[in-house]
Amino acid sequence: MRQRNMRNRYEDVDEDEQKRRDALSETEKKRARGDTALTQILCFNGVTAYRKGGWEVGSSTANNLVYERREWKDMGVRVRVLTQGLVYCRWGRALSSQKTAEMDNETGRKIHGDAWREGGFMQFTDVEGVFDWLGAERKEKAEARRAVLEKMAERANAAAAAGKTVVQDEGAKKKGKGRRKPRTEIEGSDLDR
């Protein structure tokens, strides 16, 4: 991974990497200097421990916590990274930073290099046999939203035909009807208020 970083000088990389770079065009070498490390596979998540409490003194132990100041006991959160994550990466440009659906092949090659293929990137869910559960969930929510809007429109149309509002049609009282009691008639009211 470090060897393939195009920011490394040619003299500092091993022989195999020098051969690979010799086969690249000058425009590809120049473009590749802007690449970043992209995570392709997450092998192991990092583990981080969190504990409530502020800054402790050096003599503090897990059994006997001693804070620099007493009020720091309930302030903040202490964090300790127990293990780093383990990932498999490659050098390239992130898909999310580009609008690939609107990108033509010439623009794609300019941004992503000579490895750009006709049609651009393929999402994981575009691979045969992979179920697009996120797309199915979005479609389900859109259908539910559409059904709610249709029901609201039906209720509004029915109420408009009857000359009532939807709220009145369902039995709610219309605001503003009736007479308010004067303060003197309300038990326990403060007349000076």
Q: List pLDDT tens digits, range 131-142.
A: 888 888 999 999
Q: Which helix (H) or strand (E) holds 37?
A: strand 36-44
Q: Which tens digits make up the pLDDT trace of 34-80?
A: 888 888 788 888 999 988 877 788 888 878 888 888 887 888 888 88
Distance between CA 162 and CA 152 in Å, rounded?
15
Distance between CA 16 and CA 93 in Å, rounded?
23
Q: Count the neighbouring beta carbons within 10 Å of the beta carbon of residue 3.
A: 13
Give burial (CB, 10 Å; 0-12/13-18/19+) of 148: exposed
**Half-sphere exposure for 82 (CA within 13 Å, toward CB):** 8
Task: Count Cβ neighbours within 10 Å for each residue of 64-90 and write b for 16 or more, e otherwise.
Answer: eeebeeeeeeeeeeeeeeeeeeeeeee
Q: What is the pLDDT of residue 173?
A: 53
Distance between CA 131 and CA 133 in Å, rounded?
6
Contact criterion met (CB below 8 Å) for 107 and 56: no
Q: Which tens digits make up the pLDDT trace of 73-103?
A: 888 888 888 999 998 888 877 765 455 556 6
Where do the domains of the chain lie?
Answer: 130-170
Full-model pTM: 0.40
